[in-house]
Chain A
Amino acid sequence: MSDINSYRRKFLGGLAGTAAVATVAPGVFLREVQAKPAGEAVSEKVRWGMLIDINKLDDGGDACIEACKKEHGWGNDPKSNDAQQAQWIRKVKVTEKMTGHEVTLPVMCQHCETAPCVDVCPTGASMKRADGIVQVNKHICIGCRYCMMACPYKARSFVHETIVDQRPDTPRGKGTVESCNMCVNRVDEGKNPACVDAAPQAMLFGDLNDDDSPISQALKKFGGTQIRADLGLNTGVRYWGI
């Protein structure tokens, strides 16, 4: 049996098992943690994570990218050139040199447990919430871009111009750094990140600290690949199919 067939069998079986414990109706996943009441501190008992099955992403992640743009309002800064545009999530095509095997996957902030961007930030603006979400505090980001130098995933973007018509839940500021924040605004309301809702057949969001959560169970059963696992960053985003 080829690796791919073996993988497919494992994945379908895993997803069926996961779905059995987690769905109440087709396509609707139960969330294992309720919305956080406003004013309540973020708890370290939770570690939010994401599992992406890239073989189930028919479009390679285009829908996720569009959903992210819509949610956070990035990607069309009129004065910035292509290399200066922000990119919270992108579609990366990977071709193995020897075999020519090709895969396409969405890459965004991997929400590392020991995030290099958090370590290097002089002000603490680049921070990890107690629940594992890595994001930038725009109020104290001085725009030094050291976090961009440090991030192994090129997940961070610098805002090169004054931004107008911002999304109310996603303030973007000229001269500060930004990146995927796992839709922290939605998560705190008890919703999924926008990308997960855009590709529910391929993405699972949940609490990695909860052994009974669907994502933990799926990862326990079948594992999950980290990008640049060699760096030992223990990412919160894991992949199937790489």
Chain B
Amino acid sequence: MATQVTFSEVKNNGLGYWGVLGFFGLLVLGGVFAFLHMHEGHYTTGMNNQVVWGIPHVFAIFLIVAASGAANIATIGTVFGQDVYKPQGRLSLALAGSLLFGGLVVLLLDLGSLGHVIEMAKGALNFKSIFAWNMILYSGFLLIITLYNWTMMDRRKIAKKLYKPLGIVNMAWRFMLTMGTGSIFGFLVARQYYDAAILAPLFIVSSYVFGTAIYSLVLMASFKLTGRDLGDIVLNRLRNSMAVYLVLVLFFEMTRHLTNLYATEHHAVEAYILTGDSIFTSLFWYGQIILGSLVPMFLVWCRFFKNNRLAHVTAAVLAVIGGMIQIYVILIGGQSFPLILFPNAEVSSAFFDGVNNAYTATMSEYLLGIGGVGLAVALVIVGMKGLRLLPTSLADDVIDPLNLEKK
């Protein structure tokens, strides 16, 4: 079965390869330009003392969460023994590492005092902070997936021996990593829209959606551009699992909002997000729920679109957009709603107390975030050239020569 699969580097040397790499390289350059501009001080951005995290953080969190989900493809192959997924492990892990790296770079470059990060290396770490834990979880994840990928690519006995244990470690680590990222918000006791433990599992299931969607797009694009066969068995598994993950996200979102609606203290913020006249209400319903969840589910499960790759690509793109919107609504929407200093009272001040905080991102913030995406994809493209990440074929007869899979 899948053991027949062979791997090869990307051989293309023409304009195609360098053109694609160059495009994403340009995005990285845009990010560098944005960083230099923002280095003047954050007054150049739309972020302020009310909305302290902005678009760069939306991109960074999205990429980091997606990284965990992208590595899930490898997990399914290794830990759950699904042969269809096994040949996809290398690309899955390479993509996961790249997405994480891209996200972390965005996060780092947005810091107010980047130079002080060296103090953390010198031991300035507060282990009560989920941020500090995340630094360890992210670094550890990069190390684990590097080793894990090595066990897939090396033919030595020791590598084969470590393959499954590392797959299990990777899965457990991903759980902690995504929960840690979700907990960044879960631990904010005073913010009405956060402060809920359910954000941790919500981020886990969201990671599956983001990661699977991005992985599908990268897989299809790389196979198309390098002239490799990609069969419906692989794609149908991916698209169906993505749709199932979307259902899980909707379930956790529903639970989160219903739980909040049960508590009077959260009524105002829920009304603000779910029924208000702010941008967040439109983004939540039209962006995340309809465009980012229901439409992709329809495109996946409608019989009319069976084996339709355009429908799959569209569904994946919409799931990615929906995911970005989801993070935006949580992150920016949650900050936009004012802190409650005095319950049952209206407050006002010269420091924007009691008002819904406005936030308009500047071009440099978008460029920084997009630069992170560019960096992630560029790293994968370079990786495909230098390493044997891509199977030479994932055609149905290669994946399933005995025709055991029902199409």
Contact = CB atoms under 8 A, between A and B. Distances in A.
Contacts of A90: 349-351, 353
Which of B120, B131, B335, B344 is packed against the most chain A CB atoms within 10 Å?
A: B131
A159 interface: yes
Given A91-B349, A95-B345, A79 B41 contact: yes
Contacts of B18: none
Interface in A116-135: 116, 118-125
Contacts of B49: 83-87, 148, 154, 156-158
A144 B345 contact: no
B350 A175 contact: no
Contact of A122 (B114, B120, B349, B350): B120
Contacts of B339: 152-154
Contact of A84 (B43, B111, B124, B342): B43
B347 A94 contact: yes
A84 B341 CA distance: 20
Contacts of B112: 141-145, 158-159, 174-177
Interface in A81-107: 81, 83-87, 90-98, 107
Contacts of B111: 142-144, 175
A100 to B, nearest CB: 10
B388 interface: no
A160 B84 CA distance: 51
A154 B344 contact: no
Which of A81, A98, A118, A152 is packed against the most chain B CB atoms within 10 Å?
A: A152
A206 B131 CA distance: 34
A98 to B, nearest CB: 7
Contacts of A94: 341-342, 345-347
Interface residues of B, number: 51
- Do most interface residues of chain B lie in helix, strand or loop, or is the interface mixed? loop
B52 A98 contact: no
B129 A160 contact: no
A80 interface: yes
Contacts of A146: 129, 131, 184
A187 B91 CA distance: 59
B113 interface: yes
Nearest to B116: A142
Given A123-B126, A142-B117, A175-B111, A227 B342 contact: yes
Interface stretch (B22-30, B186-194, B304-312, B374-382): B186-194
Interface in A138-181: 139-146, 148-154, 156-162, 173-177
A92 B353 CA distance: 7
A12 interface: no
B52 A93 contact: no
- Do most interface residues of chain A lie in helix, strand or loop, or is the interface mixed? loop
A91 B341 CA distance: 13
B124 A123 contact: yes
Interface in B19-62: 40-43, 47-53
A151 B190 contact: yes
Contacts of B128: 118-120
Contact of A145 (B52, B125, B126, B130): B52
A143 B53 CA distance: 11
Given A83-B49, A98-B344, A160 B352 contact: no
B225 interface: no
A150 B190 contact: yes
A156 B124 CA distance: 21
Contacts of B50: 83, 154
A92 B51 CA distance: 19
Contacts of A149: 52-53, 188, 191, 335
Interface string A201-229: 00000000000000000000000000110
B340 to A, nearest CB: 8
A25 interface: no
B241 interface: no
Nearest to A84: B48
Contacts of A228: 190, 340-341
Nearest to A227: B341
Which of A122, A143, A150, A153 is packed against the most chain B CB atoms within 10 Å?
A: A122
Contacts of B47: 84
24 contacts: A83-B357, A84-B47, A85-B49, A87-B49, A90-B353, A93-B347, A93-B348, A96-B345, A97-B345, A118-B126, A121-B129, A123-B119, A125-B124, A139-B119, A142-B116, A150-B187, A152-B341, A153-B341, A154-B351, A160-B41, A160-B48, A174-B41, A175-B114, A228-B341
Interface of A: 77, 79-81, 83-87, 90-98, 107, 116, 118-125, 139-146, 148-154, 156-162, 173-177, 227-228, 231, 242
